[in-house]
A and B are shown apart, each in its own frame.
Chain A
């Protein structure tokens, strides 16, 4: 079996400041990959490089698309990148305000990607929007309400619905549970886990919260100062960390 997503030798620096250097990772269909590390360790830079939002200085990113076969993401034209980003990919922002249109109703938010790919039947769009709202456990009677009237957790679930409506194969998530309180986090993680299994999604998730990794990820990489210091199966790395930095991370988890 070939990985659905493969990045080799990704390096990015901002002038003298190193973003990330020589990162390799691969992801198989239906697999969840966690990227952890402290603030400033290069997680977000890496995620942005992988999702072609910024151009890395070096490296290549191969995506095996169900519809188009093997493509080198970074060599695609901007039009193709943007098309891929709203059909077979999805990007869940930490702050739902970055990923939602706050002045557009929940239904319009979910339907946008459908309209973007040429869906022009109002009834169908609305049915799909309702369907996805119920799948992320949102009250469908609020379909015409603006996301600004939603709570933080609901906004985040709406953002996920909006991204999944075109049934993407690969999802990038940047701290999807950041800024939510623990009980809402738990419900969101539950939801994500069931969606990932149900739809056999491939996910790259960036977080500093090891509990998220423990619950969702199959494999993980640990980053420090722009480098990967440890990689492996999530449970293995968390239960038996080898690198001193990973050991520090794991031992810093608060026990209640």
Chain B
């Protein structure tokens, strides 16, 4: 069957425009670069920004992995993977370490990334100051003049109302001591992984038409107060399938009685551990031959 799509769906001029924006965003870590986002054959909020960035970065030799909240097998991940299989005919994989480009929605893989990888984030709202300052003209000025006191007002409100910094995702960070950036809605558990990461991290917001980036080995600091320092947040449990106690966990309701279990949100990490013989408590209880990945 012939492929009627241009390689990776977008036309070459559009990809060039996006690459130009990406180069600028890499040159100024954390700075939001406007770009002429295109209509994509998927609704806004499903990763149109990330898909455009992936499309602009893709080469035929790439091997791509798509995750949605850490999982390779959810609707968003499957459909975007199929999209690139169809339009770019690139190889896809679920293995973090084998992928050369990983598009992600709201997670950073547990497995360490390396210098040959690109991590592409899907971003709903790129402006970290947005909910406190609705005017775009004003937030741009605040970025330009490094006026970031307002970001701490948000954290102050958290402590005043909850006794601790209750923001648990989209936790604001400062990149290379200059721009304050929204890391997209990743859990704050993942925030430290962004700092000094060997992989290139690119962020695309389709509806908001913004690109930004963290080049490899950049310092990324999560904002906090001296007397309320940043803490990673993770359920106080271990994965019930692979017994990992250092990975980010999802709480899954498993029946109508309200029983629940904790499992790794990163499905590939969990499966790889189980293949290595690690067993969680729910896995041990079941009889032999039980395929835990089908829960």
Contacts and interface: CB of A to CB of B under 8 A. Distances in A.
Q: Are A and B subunits of one complex?
A: yes
Interface in B115-167: 132, 141, 145, 147, 149-150, 152-153, 156-157, 159-161
B152 A115 contact: yes
Contact of B159 (A104, A115, A122): A122
Contacts of B227: 121-123
Contact of B156 (A78, A82, A111, A117): A111
B217 interface: no
Nearest to B226: A121
Nearest to A122: B225
Contact of A111 (B141, B147, B153, B161): B153
B98 interface: no
Contacts of B159: 122
A237 to B, nearest CB: 39
A80 B147 CA distance: 12
Interface string A132-170: 000000000001100000000000000000000000000
Contacts, number: 55
A120 B149 CA distance: 9
A250 B132 CA distance: 44
Interface string B226-245: 11100000000000000000
Given A111-B156, A121-B225, A123-B227, A116 B161 contact: no
Contacts of B152: 115, 120
Contact residues of B: prevailing secondary structure: helix
Contact of B153 (A79, A82, A104, A143): A104
A16 B19 CA distance: 48
Contacts of A79: 145
Interface in A34-83: 78-79, 82
A96 interface: no
B147 A116 contact: yes
A174 interface: no
B240 to A, nearest CB: 37
A108 B147 contact: no
A125 interface: yes
B145 A82 contact: yes
